[in-house]
Amino acid sequence: MRVLGVDPGLTRCGLGVVDALPGHRLQAVWFGVARSDADADVDQRLLAIERRLEEALEEHAPDTVAIERVFAQHNVSTVMGTAQVAGLALVAAARRRIPVAVHTPSEVKAAVTGNGRADKAQVQAMVARLLGLEERPKPADAADALALAICHLWRPQGAISAPQRPPGALTPAQRAWAAAEQAARRRT
Amino acid sequence: MRVLGVDPGLTRCGLGVVDALPGHRLQAVWFGVARSDADADVDQRLLAIERRLEEALEEHAPDTVAIERVFAQHNVSTVMGTAQVAGLALVAAARRRIPVAVHTPSEVKAAVTGNGRADKAQVQAMVARLLGLEERPKPADAADALALAICHLWRPQGAISAPQRPPGALTPAQRAWAAAEQAARRRT
């Protein structure tokens, strides 16, 4: 199971590809940022971002695209461009019949750090630990995109959870998450 | 000069194609609405709208696409979908190297009725008169899209304005607009 996480933005759109491996392990495949020139017209900016998104889809062929949910009330000055980039990601996936999922920022933070209000540094640190990266992925937009992909793979009905389990028991994904969280705390 | 007007919306996206003819006349080429199923997932809804937009661009080959500007503070429940559809229209045009223009609702209303606060019925009535249509174009989204195209063709630097004119004189477009406005008032 391979997930492309997309942290939408018109100036910087974070992209991150994560594989779920056997044994509930995660592997970073690639991450980066699609950028557009803030001085260009909005149609050209959106086109530049779309092309980079299309390249990432072509190159990495994800099974699912996980996109951060954009809220209308957040940061009015940038929300329209952010919403438009999220829309481009939704359509680029739909054109290829790739399923999409949308996760809120607090879902993503809770999934990777155990705290829905974690700050960017905590998210970056945990993404690096969970993916076994020697350095924190930069810029933050790319780390957020990787976190989105991890959130999607680790959600309760995710790719690496057991399809059937006794009621009340932790899923393998939840156990892995709890273990990673504990390990991270020990190292902090 | 042929303009495709786009009144963006996720449930109904108005589309209208208008030609500027010699003699400062306007001609409606086509109008319609791209719809999406409100029960479908947002990626499928955006894809359905994009396909209809692409068809309109292919079929009518406009020289410019005029899109209504979406404001973040308007109608929070629908603004995200509206912004995303506007983004799709921007990118669909950019992919074909068709210039885009964005006009505010009040610019459009002022262009076709002389009043930036005109209601939908006034806009529909004036669009019908200016384009010589026997009936008011329906639904209102299609009329708004035709109005956007007219606004673009009639703006001061538009296709059917004189390239050079004495300072202070009305452009042919402004004269045509004033005459149409007067005629409309007489008939009201």
The model's pLDDT over A131-167, given as tens digits with 9 standing for 90+, comes to: 999 999 999 999 999 999 999 998 766 544 433 333 3
State the Cα–Cα distance between residues A67 and A4, nearest whole angstrom. Answer: 8
**Is the CB of B46 less than 8 angstroms away from the CB of A83?**
no
State the Cα–Cα distance between residues A22 and A45, nearest whole angstrom. Answer: 39
Chain B CB contacts of A72 below 8 Å = 72, 76, 79-80
Nearest residue of B to residue A50, measured between CA atoms? B91
pTM of the entire predicted model: 0.80
Say whether pLDDT at B47 is over 90: yes
CA distance readout (Å), A67 to A15, A29, A87, B166: 10, 17, 10, 54
State the Cα–Cα distance between residues B104 and B71, nearest whole angstrom. Answer: 9
* Mutation target vs A (from B78, B80, B103; most A CBs, 10 A cutoff): B80
Nearest residue of B to residue A73, measured between CA atoms? B76
Chain A CB contacts of B88 below 8 Å = 87-88, 91
What ipTM does the predicted assembly reach? 0.77
Q: What is the mean pLDDT of residues A38-65?
A: 97
Chain B CB contacts of A68 below 8 Å = none
Task: Judge residue B76's burial from the number of C-beta atoms within 10 Å of its C-beta, 0-12 exposed, 13-18 middle, 19 or more buried.
Answer: exposed
User: Residue B158: which pLDDT band, with cuts at 50, 70 and 90?
Assistant: low
